[in-house]
Amino acid sequence: MHQIRYFLAVSETLNLTKAAVRCNVAQPSLTRAIKALETELGGELLRRERALSHLTELGQRMLPMLRQCYETALAAKVVATSIRKGDAAPLSVAVSQTVALRAFTPVLRELSRVVPGLQLKLRRGSGSEVAEYLKSGTAELAIAGPLGEAWSRLNAFLLFEEPVDLIVNRNHRLVGRNRVELGELASETLLINMECERLQELRACLEANGIRDTATHQVATQEDLLELLRANLGVAIDAVGEAETSGLCRIPLNELNLVRRVSVYTVAGRQRTTACATLLNMLRAADWRFDTGATQQRRAYR
Amino acid sequence: MTDPKLTDLLEESFLRCRDLEAPLADRLNAFANELRSLGPHFQATVDALVSRLAASGAGAAAPKVGEPMPEFLLPDDQGRLIRLEDFLNEGPVALAFNRGHWCPYCRINIDALARAQEEIASERCQIAAIVPDRQRFTVWLKSDTGAKFPVLTDMDNGYAMTLGLAIYVGDALKRLMASSGWDPSVSQGTDNWMLPIPATFIVGTDGIVRARFVEPDFRLRMTIEEMLAALRAAN
């Protein structure tokens, strides 16, 4: 593990002397460790020059994966030393407006069983607000759809995908249909959650199918969207989870091939707390039953 | 690209070797021989990796006999978080690091552990397998082998790495594995192609390692007899 720590230090300083100082180790030890890592990986990671070292192609390629493993390993060490103590364990999580918490409560319950000092700070927000919470460090971990962020320090791990369907009230005229054409919605009032991460994508899709001047009701929270659906004030195009659709009907839409991809996000390079590291591993390891990766499953199960 | 004929052949070979009524080492060796006859190029690539790992001292830093086994907190196949301490409160434990549900050697290894599980349980000892696979695949691994013991998920090989057991398979073997249908990225939920060096640690109730088997050559595993003897001695 120290070999990777030294390599990461060299990749940041591009200078063996500086890297050795940063790692608090003599330079020959650092050089030896990197040589051993190179032997293990089967190629040179560094092109050594007097003042400045460069990463080789292999070094560039290995850097992100070594960093990811190192961070998980570092977190595993922190977890191992802290779980005995039962110290207060603050955990700030940001969840997008459009993601229902219910799917995640069993995981949170298990986390609080093992981390008795757990103190949860749960925030809600739009996609851009969630991204901002992560950047500023207000949230350590986030669960959301695509954040539309190109920030290189943002780590995203896909949890599951859900198809985007038409959601209507149980008394709506379209209930009972197997499929609906987008064109049939021209006369409907669309309920739109303005905080939805996929709003632009959805608008583009509607316009591409000739739906431009539909009447809309705009809401800012998912609860309000569901409430207006229950009151039959309009229809929605959304990826609402099974648990929330009681009293509502979900109908697949032709021409619409949108899915909601829900991911867990963290920020690379920040030290993770025990609670955060454990929650991240639990979310990533969990079997999300509504995962649609059916073809991948078949391949992997052979 | 996956060659369906090769993967079918490999699965047939695997089943033949898994179902042998023979000691673990013989079953592992039988599969290694089958693999040699199916694809001789495989052998050279695997040998190259194993000698590279040996040269770099991979696995040398892992806890030795007499040293404490570091604590862990890992989710099991049901999503429950398990600590090393949870096992030690009950008795000695054998921790078996395996590479994943896709690896024939690991399936044979875990199958052999499952064959011995009643005997081990009757001596008030325990087994836990640790793999970098996610839950959907640890559940599958349990039903494939009939294992009643927990199979724990070590995401990104994080715990294995703290023990100096995580390695990169290398570009050459990565290509060969992908073409044989042995792609760990789906089950690991990351495409970094890191794997643990297979290893078994027998840990006493005091948390001290009583016996260990750490071997960069993933075709070799701790024998069931050695494991049983070490568990008994630790009890």
Amino acid, single-letter form, for residue B166: A
Residue A56 pLDDT exceeds 80: yes
Q: Do B152 and B131 contact (CB within 8 A), yes or no?
A: yes
Distance from B150 to chain A by nearest Cα, in Å?
Answer: 14
Q: Which of A20-29, A235-244, B6-15, B56-65 has the lowest mean pLDDT?
A: A235-244
Kindly tell me the number of DSSP H helices and DSSP E strands found in chain B.
10, 9
Which among A188-197, A218-227, B91-100, B186-195 has the top mean pLDDT?
B91-100
Given A68, A73, A278, which is nearest B192 (Cβ)?
A68
Residue A298 pLDDT exceeds 50: no
Q: Do B171 and B142 contact (CB within 8 A), yes or no?
A: no
Q: Do A121 and A242 contact (CB within 8 A), yes or no?
A: no
- Domain boundaries A89-160+261-290, corresponding CATH code: 3.40.190.10
- The structural domains of chain B, with segments of one domain joined by +, span 4-234
- Domain boundaries A2-82, corresponding CATH code: 1.10.10.10
Is B165 in the A-facing interface, judged by CB distances under 8 Å?
no
Tokens 């001290």 identify what position?
Answer: B208
Q: What pLDDT score does A241 carry?
A: 67
Contact A65 B193 (CB under 8 A): yes
Residue A138 pLDDT exceeds 90: yes
Question: Which residues on B lie below 8 Å from A84 (Cβ)?
Answer: 71, 85
Q: Do B52 and A42 contact (CB within 8 A), yes or no?
A: yes
Half-sphere exposure of B158 (CA within 13 A, CB side): 29
A89-160+261-290 against A165-257: fold identical: yes
Report pTM: 0.88
**Residue B145 structure tokens:** 């082998």
Tokens 């070999």 identify what position?
Answer: A3
Half-sphere exposure of A292 (CA within 13 A, CB side): 9
Q: What pLDDT score does A71 carry?
A: 87
Return the axis-axis angle of helices A294-301 and B135-145, rounded to nearest 10°: 40
**Run of H or E residues at B200:** strand B199-203
Question: Which residues on B lie below 8 Å from A107 (Cβ)?
Answer: 79
- The structural domains of chain A, with segments of one domain joined by +, span 2-82, 89-160+261-290, 165-257
Of A196, A199, A9, A84, give the one whose Cα is nearest residue B89.
Answer: A84
* Closest chain A residue to B72, measured at CA: A80
CB count in 10 Å sphere of residue A81: 11
Question: Which residues on B lie below 8 Å from A297 (Cβ)?
Answer: 136
- % residues pLDDT > 90 (chain B): 70
Mean pLDDT of A77-94: 80
Question: Which residues on B lie below 8 Å from A39 (Cβ)?
Answer: 52, 55-56
Question: Which residues on B lie below 8 Å from A7 (Cβ)?
Answer: none
Q: What pLDDT score does A291 carry?
A: 43
- What's the rounded Cα separation, in Å, for the pair B194 and A53? 25
Residue B5 pLDDT exceeds 70: no
Q: What pLDDT score does A190 carry?
A: 92
B167 forms bridges with which residues in the sheet?
B195
H helices within A47-122, ranges in order?
57-82, 105-114
How many A/B residue pairs have CB atoms within 8 Å? 136
Mean pLDDT of B203-229: 96
Instruction: Specify the long-range contacts of residues A22-26, CB closer than 8 Å, at least 24 apart.
Output: none
Residue B222 pLDDT exceeds 60: yes
What is the tens place of the pLDDT at every residue in A113-122?
988 889 999 9
B90 CB-near residues (< 8 Å, 6+ apart) = B124, B126
Q: Is A247 exposed, middle or buried (0-12, 13-18, 19+ CB in 10 A)?
A: exposed
Q: What pLDDT score does B4 carry?
A: 59
Mean pLDDT of B58-62: 89
Distance from A170 to chain B by nearest Cα, in Å?
Answer: 35
- What's the rounded Cα separation, in Å, for the pair A75 and B159? 9
Question: Which residues on B lie below 8 Å from A79 (Cβ)?
Answer: 72-73
H helices within A85-144, ranges in order?
105-114, 127-136
Q: Categorize the per-residue pLDDT at B111 as very low, low, confident or very high, splitting at 50, 70 and 90.
A: very high
Q: Do B68 and B207 contact (CB within 8 A), yes or no?
A: yes
- What's the rounded Cα separation, in Å, for the pair B137 and B145? 12
B199 forms bridges with which residues in the sheet?
B97, B214
The CATH superfamily holding the domain A165-257 is: Periplasmic binding protein-like II (3.40.190.10)
Is B193 in the A-facing interface, judged by CB distances under 8 Å?
yes
A163 forms bridges with which residues in the sheet?
A259
Q: What pLDDT score does B6 carry?
A: 72
Q: Categorize the per-residue pLDDT at A98 as very low, low, confident or very high, splitting at 50, 70 and 90.
A: confident
**Residue B228 structure tokens:** 């049983």
b/e burial code for range B147-186 (CB count within 10 A of at least 16 → b)? bebbbbbbbbbbbbbbbbbbbbbbeebbebbebbbbbbeb
Question: Which residues on A lie below 8 Å from B58 (Cβ)?
Answer: 40
* Closest chain A residue to B153, measured at CA: A285
Given B135, B156, B164, which is nearest A287 (Cβ)?
B135
Q: What pLDDT score does A299 carry?
A: 33
Mean model confidence pLDDT for chain A: 86
Mean pLDDT of B73-77: 95
Q: Which of A82-91, A201-210, B109-118, B120-129 has the lowest mean pLDDT?
A: A82-91
Residue A274 pLDDT exceeds 70: yes
ipTM field: 0.92
Contact B101 A300 (CB under 8 A): yes
* Closest chain A residue to B7, measured at CA: A302
The conformation of residue A116, written as its DSSP 8-state character, comes to T
Q: What pLDDT score does B181 carry?
A: 79
Mean pLDDT of B152-176: 90
Residue A93 pLDDT exceeds 70: yes
Contact B81 A110 (CB under 8 A): yes
Domain B4-234 has CATH 3.40.30.10: yes
Mean pLDDT of B113-127: 96
Of A261, A264, A221, A260, give the one whose Cα is nearest residue A237.
Answer: A260
Mean pLDDT of A84-95: 84
* Closest chain A residue to B84, measured at CA: A80
Given B55, B83, B137, which is nearest A39 (Cβ)?
B55
Q: What pLDDT score does A294 carry?
A: 37
Amino acid, single-letter form, for residue A108: L
